A = this chain, B = another copy of it.
Amino acid sequence: MTDPAFIKQYLMAAGPTPVPPEVSQAMAEPVLYHRAPAFIELYTRCLKRLPTVFGTDNDILCFASSGTGAMESAAANLIRPGDRVVVASCGKFGERWQELGDAYGAEVAFHDACWGQNVDPADLERVLAENDGAELVFATLSESSTGVVNDAGALAEVAHAHGALIVLDAVSALGAVPVRQDELALDVVVAGSQKALMCPPGLAFASASAPALARAAESPGRRYYFDWNKAAAGQRKDPPDSPFTPAVTLFMGLDVALGQIEREGLEAVFARHALNALAARAAAAALELERFGPDDDRANVLTAIRLPEAIDGAKVPKLMRERFGITVAGGQGQLKGKIVRIAHCGYYGAFDTLVALAGLEMALRELGHEVELGAGVGAAQRVFLEAGVPAGSPA
């Protein structure tokens, strides 16, 4: 067996995702002092570019933290102890909202749409009707544990009809699928750097509407580092000033990544994600593997594929990594060993998808599942060729 040190590595996880070499190089430049003009210039540029990706005119509040930090910022700024809140979950990250609600003293009405299902707006309607007075709904835009992408606009409508604000975890959605925060009236959207923004983990973002910021201002205390109004006050200064030392190298990378997204064009970025997902779905069908999750065309962040029951599914990502150097994500929690996740979020082109699919075919064959080598790859190739473009790439 080849020494693992000499197997070429392909990072194909749904986060951390691969980072463009130009972004990595920028982060290796000498560190900038956060109050020096050179940093302020690129920080200002990032703050100006971020709202476009969210589809908003809001300030995008930036934190040095994991994506969970931005989720916590929403809980800490919006929940007052004893508040009744609704969590509409369909996977691991939906469950995190419940944990945050509990931690911040909310009375959480938890709706479980089941892992792999969309949250049905009619169910949210029912739960809100049963929980009169709930002023906050927490939900997930893209559920990274399963690939489900919820209908944010429909959920927002239901929440608003009941006088509630809606808070959406868009950690893996942002930059992969349209978020359209202002158009869909999404009150709060939180996200992170390590998915489709093509940066390493360590930056988190919260985009809060004026009513959400006002609610936060009405109940100060119980937070400091993640305080929205403190962050907003700093970022609105001229020049903008983070209240705490920002993660300067990550901003140096983000500046380059946002420039790449701008040059490729946001619509082209979304189209690239959609095409990669379409190709992965075609491959799964050709391999007679069941797609995990609802059959809709919103799920373009990652494609979850159910593994054959006859094989030990947990071995699929292990074998792909150890033998082929390909790091893909398997299932988490209750889906451990049951699915494999083919990621499209971020710096993924057509041939990355083909690599992941080729590795999956080979792993399945090695684990004893009958599979026609090249069948899935071929189906994906056809999708790419029929679309007339090789699924672009950031420039």
Given pairs A19-B30, A24-B27, A33-B329, 19 additional interface contacts (CB within 8 A)? A9-B38, A11-B32, A24-B30, A24-B31, A27-B27, A27-B249, A33-B327, A64-B69, A65-B225, A66-B244, A66-B247, A67-B244, A104-B221, A192-B245, A200-B247, A201-B246, A201-B247, A201-B248, A202-B249
The one of B25, B99, B225 that contacts A72, using a Cβ cutoff of 8 Å: B225
Known: A66-B225, A202-B64. A245 touches B15 (CB 8 A): yes
Of the four ranges (under 10, 10 to 19, 20 to 34, 35 or more), the interface on chain A belongs to: 35 or more
Contacts of A192 in B (CB 8 A): 245
232-286 of chain A: CB within 8 A of chain B: 244-250
Q: Is the CB of B11 within 8 A of A34?
A: no
Q: Interface code A1-40, partner B: CB below 8 Å = 1, 0 otherwise?
A: 0000000010101011111000011011111111010100
Separation of A63 and B38 alpha carbons in the complex (Å): 27
Cβ B24 vs Cβ A29 within 8 A: yes
Within 8 A of B (CB), among A86-105: 99-100, 102-105
A105 nearest in chain B by CB position? B221
Q: Is the CB of B16 within 8 A of A245?
A: yes
The distance in angstroms between the C-alpha atoms of A223 and B99, with both chains bound, is: 10
Q: How far is the CA of A16 from the CA of B30 in the complex (A)?
A: 11
In this assembly, does A321 line the interface, its C-beta being within 8 Å of a C-beta of chain B?
A: yes
Contact present for B31 and A68 (CB under 8 Å): no
A residues at B contact (CB < 8 Å): 9, 11, 13, 15-19, 24-25, 27-34, 36, 38, 63-69, 72, 75, 99-100, 102-105, 192, 194, 200-202, 220-227, 244-250, 321, 327, 329
* Alpha-carbon separation in the docked complex, A296 to B200 (Å): 42
Query: What separation, in Å, do the CA atoms of A34 and B104 have in the docked complex?
Result: 28
Among A24, A200, A221, the most chain B Cβ lie within 10 Å of the Cβ of A200
A221 and B11 alpha carbons, distance in the complex (Å): 36
A66: chain B residues within 8 A (beta carbon) = 64, 225, 244-247
Residues of B within 8 A of A24 (CB): 27-31
> Are B224 and A100 within 8 A (Cβ)?
yes
Contact B33 A11 (CB under 8 A): yes
From known contacts A33-B13, A36-B321, infer whether A201 and B103 are also in contact, taking CB-CB under 8 Å: no
Q: Closest B residue to A63 by CB, please name it.
A: B65
Given the complex of chains A and B, what is the CA–CA distance between A15 and B329 in angstroms? 37
Question: Of all chain B residues, which has the CB nearest A227?
Answer: B103
